[in-house]
Amino acid sequence: MLNENKWFTSITDIKPGKIRIRGYDIAELMGNRSFAEVIYLVLRGELPNSAEAKMFDAILASSVDHGVTPPSVLSTRTVTSGGNPLNAAVAAGILAIGDTHGGAIEQCARILQEWASKDGNISELAEKLLDEFIFNKKRLPGYGHRLHNVDPRTVRLFKIAEELDFSGRHIELAVAVQDRFAEVKGRKLPINVDGAIAAVTSDMGFDWRIGKGFFIISRISGLIAHYYEELIRERPMRKLGNPNWEYDGPKARKLK
Amino acid sequence: MLNENKWFTSITDIKPGKIRIRGYDIAELMGNRSFAEVIYLVLRGELPNSAEAKMFDAILASSVDHGVTPPSVLSTRTVTSGGNPLNAAVAAGILAIGDTHGGAIEQCARILQEWASKDGNISELAEKLLDEFIFNKKRLPGYGHRLHNVDPRTVRLFKIAEELDFSGRHIELAVAVQDRFAEVKGRKLPINVDGAIAAVTSDMGFDWRIGKGFFIISRISGLIAHYYEELIRERPMRKLGNPNWEYDGPKARKLK
Amino acid sequence: MLNENKWFTSITDIKPGKIRIRGYDIAELMGNRSFAEVIYLVLRGELPNSAEAKMFDAILASSVDHGVTPPSVLSTRTVTSGGNPLNAAVAAGILAIGDTHGGAIEQCARILQEWASKDGNISELAEKLLDEFIFNKKRLPGYGHRLHNVDPRTVRLFKIAEELDFSGRHIELAVAVQDRFAEVKGRKLPINVDGAIAAVTSDMGFDWRIGKGFFIISRISGLIAHYYEELIRERPMRKLGNPNWEYDGPKARKLK
Amino acid sequence: MLNENKWFTSITDIKPGKIRIRGYDIAELMGNRSFAEVIYLVLRGELPNSAEAKMFDAILASSVDHGVTPPSVLSTRTVTSGGNPLNAAVAAGILAIGDTHGGAIEQCARILQEWASKDGNISELAEKLLDEFIFNKKRLPGYGHRLHNVDPRTVRLFKIAEELDFSGRHIELAVAVQDRFAEVKGRKLPINVDGAIAAVTSDMGFDWRIGKGFFIISRISGLIAHYYEELIRERPMRKLGNPNWEYDGPKARKLK
């Protein structure tokens, strides 16, 4: 009777005394493969080769924290300040990681994967891609940053990719779009860290639909550090919000 | 084989074409009982009588919103600002409703229910309760407010309770503790809205363990209003946090 | 220096001893207006008239609970079972209310508001709307239900709307689409409760972008009831998930 | 005027073109330090030495996934199934990581840190600690597992600790309690992975209040893998909950 809706999983097999991640014994992975390699395995189903492992390590290290201003940190600290446990505070931080905060990885990877799969050479594709965005007056996700003119994390990621001889059609396309933009508009719109992660993970073969996941995996330790700092340095219910607000709604009135 | 762990629910029965809440047909409840009465039914298992219904309506109306400063609103707006859907924004707001924000209802109700169940007259119990808290240097949850000296919602709730002749041992104890405090300390520590809700719902027979729930049910519409205002009046990723911060960690240093 | 980014709110004004919701004193609202009326005020900025108040009360009562099977309830109970506080459990439930669970209100209201604002009579618009959906092979949000052939909540909501003489272009369009579907396809695809709420709140003038909010406001008390039932009737970490699963990933393998 | 409530952070310093984590340039960390080392830096304020880095890597790898049955996975998959974005699904999973799921790390570390800081030799402390728990009839957090008699991750973590000559008073106490239990009760209650992580991170000097954080950092990639598997292998709104339930509430009844 309860046979309805049997389902399958290919991630982890569990038996008493045995845990196998994608077929590998967890006890064998521990101590023999780095944390980043095991994350790669869980997400992709296979272990990375040496270049992929180094590249992935750098990607995950790139976004562990960016200070107190991002929405995710404000959200984590606010929930901490309301008197809540670590997991609730971290969950609230992750909830803030939406379309306009971290979401560019996902959207940029989607665009790169869509366009890089088309026939044609990269510079032609970059030209068409940019034309389309300019024509539709849309923002290019993964380009530009509200603080950094040149994002130091992008520079570093691309340098590591070059050293590892790790570059494919997606990185090339991302760079070609950046170059083409400068040509057409006469000003730079540099690839930000979201765009760089999108390009590199696309060359690694990751589906764009987990793009936001790389950012979340990376940032989670930063959120925990902010939870802890709020806990030990600040008093509960402190004024975390921008205090510069004003009420401009209906004037005081009476029920009829 | 799948018979393992059968479980039971006494809240709602569902059949094709029929939904019964605690035994009552939802279609019969709709239009014949107010939203507040149906909430009472879902939570308690029985419909309220007329006085309980009026009292409960006033309780739920009391906390729909309190402006932009509470942690829950900041959390909801921050998640909205990160480019997320309504349900994620509201969930983040609810996550902020912890021990120091709304949690006093729960803790105050726990204390009132524990002490009101003891033998003895109310003024003696109030005396002992307060002695214990003062001796242990603990804060009394449900008393005092960071903004309001006298919480207008408390005044109103107790007035409605009086008009409805709706007062029992828990309200009496809450007031007696307030009076005793003034006597002992020579200054007022008025019951805030959390304490008033705790006292009234305890007299209604609600378990203190759902105390925070009344606040959440009430505040949820306020959070949605803030989500919507953020969406239509503000640009994404705006600076919602208090900008007055400074880095005071380790100076710039190099890897060895 | 910190004048940067002043912001405005028109929802609630707060001063010591005074809380005004959209201009009305909260203490005056409490006891004089129902909970549903105050919710309407917070969301819309104005109090409802008598017919709107009755209609809105029935809408909010319609979705308080639907038993243990919806994703939101499973999510709330699972988080409860993991040993978490009420607010975290409720937040997890709200997180489940997405595109395929409750999200139809939003999408259906968006479609109704878009089409009802066009010129032309309702039956012509219904015809075109349905043609477009059938042509694009898209599902009509707000129509059909996995359990109920005829949703009893829809029947009741439309009956109350009729009694209150409360029907405008959006309800008419929603019904016309349903009738047209039966004509074209030879079978019924009845409006479900999501569709009914979408139609009625659209006639009330609510923006579709808070459509999911009505469902959340309504369901929150059900989620709290399920939290409480899980807490008092079940042991922690019980097997809440469908036990009928199987691992079909890579066979056991060794590191090279 | 807005000088009120200045606050400080010692985690990350941000300037245009420069991001420093605890004083180290992020671009220098990337490619030169592993992801696990950077996480350690963010959480502790200092980089780990070589033994600490290896130990920490193994800890984080230990809990990446444990199949489909844990509450966190059920919660993530349920929210995914409701039609929600990756970040909402992952946040819901983290919300499930409470007192009875992952929470043992925190509680076990608290106990070990409290007792290991007392004077006296380890075996005497273990004896007293256990006596106290048995006398109070309390469960020992971090001991026993519902599936594994001997937790393979514990065995592996302690072996790595031994190889690295990495063992202090907290690991010793944890093991002494386990041995003492077997002596007193005549049966084994082995340290589970939560207890092992608690003991090792306590010897590393981590505050027990971020104990749950190690589990969350580790498990987050597993949750993303489950989100993705649910997305690509299952249909929306499927029956994820244990279907073996029954309504046992009030019989059908009418309003009076």
pLDDT digits (tens, 9 = 90+) for B187-236: 889 999 999 999 999 999 999 999 999 999 999 999 999 999 999 999 99
Instruction: Tell me which CATH homologous superfamily contains domain A50-237.
Output: Cytochrome P450-Terp, domain 2 (1.10.230.10)
Output the pLDDT for position C1. Answer: 42
Q: Rounded to an integer, what distance in angstroms lies between the CA atom of residue B204 and that of residue B200?
A: 6
Across the interface, whether the CB atoms of D68 and C245 are under 8 A apart is answered yes
Dihedrals φ, ψ of C96, to 5°? -75, -15
User: Which percentage of chain C shows pLDDT scores above 70?
Assistant: 98
| Positive or negative: CA dihedral A219, A220, A226, A229 | negative
Inter-chain Cβ pairs, chain B and chain C, closer than 8 A: 272
Q: Which residue has the higher pLDDT, B167 or C76?
A: C76
- Tracing tokens 């109030």 back to the chain, one arrives at B126
Lowest mean pLDDT among A229-233, B133-137, C37-41, D129-133: B133-137
The dotted CATH code for C103-209 is 1.10.230.10
Which of chain A's residues have a Cβ under 8 Å away from the Cβ of C243?
2
Nearest residue of chain D to residue B254 (CA atoms)? D24
Do β-strands D7-9 and B245-247 pair in parallel, antiparallel, or remain unpaired? parallel
Average confidence (pLDDT) over C156-171: 93
Residue D3: pLDDT band (50, 70, 90) is low
Radius of gyration of chain D (CA): 22
Q: How high is the mean pLDDT of chain D? A: 94
Output the pLDDT for position D1. Answer: 42
In this prediction the pTM is 0.96
Whether the predicted pLDDT of C221 surpasses 70: yes
A-interface mutation test, from D32, D78, D94, most A Cβ less than 10 A away: D94
Q: Which residue has the higher pLDDT, B100 or B159?
A: B159
Q: Rounded to an integer, what distance in angstroms lies between the CA atom of residue B184 and that of residue B162?
A: 26
User: Which percentage of chain B shows pLDDT scores above 90?
Assistant: 86
Q: How high is the mean pLDDT of chain C? A: 94
Radius of gyration of chain B (CA): 22
Residues on B contacting A at a C-beta cutoff of 8 Å:
1-3, 67-69, 71-72, 74-75, 78-79, 81-84, 88-89, 91-92, 95-103, 146, 236-237, 239-243, 245, 247
ipTM of the complex in this document:
0.96
Query: Minimal CA–CA distance to A67: which of C35, D94, D42?
Result: D42
Whether the predicted pLDDT of C251 surpasses 50: yes
Which of chain B's residues have a Cβ under 8 Å away from the Cβ of C13?
67
Q: Rounded to an integer, what distance in angstroms lies between the CA atom of residue A198 and that of residue A204?
A: 10
Count CA atoms closer than 13 A to D168's CA, side-chain side.
14
- Which of the following CATH numbers is that of domain D64-238: 3.40.630.90, 2.40.30.30, 1.10.230.10, 1.10.1040.10? 1.10.230.10
Output the pLDDT for position C134. Answer: 87
Q: Rounded to an integer, what distance in angstroms lies between the CA atom of residue A178 and that of residue A42?
A: 33
Nearest residue of chain D to residue A31 (CA atoms)? D58
The 3-state secondary structure of chain C reads: CCCCCCEEECCEEEECCEEEECCEEHHHHECCECHHHHHHHHHHCCCCCHHHHHHHHHHHHHCCCCCCCCHHHHHHHHHHHCCCCHHHHHHHHHHCCCCCCCHHHHHHHHHHHHHHCCCCCHHHHHHHHHHHHHHCCCCCCCECCCCCCCCHHHHHHHHHHHHCCCCCHHHHHHHHHHHHHHHHHCCCCCECHHHHHHHHHHHHCCCHHHHHHHHHHHHHHHHHHHHHHHHHHCCCCCCCECCCEEECCCCCECCC
Query: Minimal CA–CA distance to A87: which of D219, C71, C230?
Result: D219
The dihedral formed by the CA atoms of C201, C202, C206 and C207, expressed in degrees to the nearest 10: 130
Which of chain C's residues have a Cβ under 8 Å away from the Cβ of A34?
none
Give the number of other Cβ atoms within 10 Å of residue A235's Cβ. 9
Which of chain B's residues have a Cβ under 8 Å away from the Cβ of C66?
12, 14, 19
pLDDT in tens, chain A (256 residues): 445 678 999 999 999 889 999 999 999 999 999 999 999 999 999 999 999 999 999 999 999 999 999 999 999 999 999 999 999 999 999 999 999 888 899 999 999 999 999 999 999 999 999 999 988 989 899 998 777 778 899 999 999 999 999 889 999 999 999 999 999 999 889 999 999 999 999 999 999 999 999 999 999 999 999 999 999 999 998 999 999 999 999 999 999 8
Instruction: Choose the closest CB to D99 out of C83, C146, C245.
Output: C83
Output the pLDDT for position C147. Answer: 76
Average confidence (pLDDT) over B15-42: 97
Instruction: Choose the closest CB to C66 out of B19, B62, B88.
Output: B19
Nearest residue of chain B to residue A236 (CA atoms)? B100
Instruction: Choose the closest CB to A249 out of C10, C25, C32.
Output: C10
Across the interface, whether the CB atoms of D95 and C74 are under 8 A apart is answered no
Output the pLDDT for position A1. Answer: 42
Output the pLDDT for position B1. Answer: 42
Q: Which token pair is B145? A: 């407010």
Q: Rounded to an integer, what distance in angstroms lies between the CA atom of residue C90 and that of residue C87?
A: 5
Output the pLDDT for position A71. Answer: 96
Count CA atoms closer than 13 A to A81's CA, side-chain side.
25
Query: Minimal CA–CA distance to D157: which of A41, A13, A31?
Result: A31
Output the pLDDT for position C18. Answer: 93
Name the residue ranges covered by the structural domains of chain C: 14-47, 103-209
Asked if C95 and B88 touch (Cβ cutoff 8 Å), the reply is: yes
Average confidence (pLDDT) over B54-70: 97
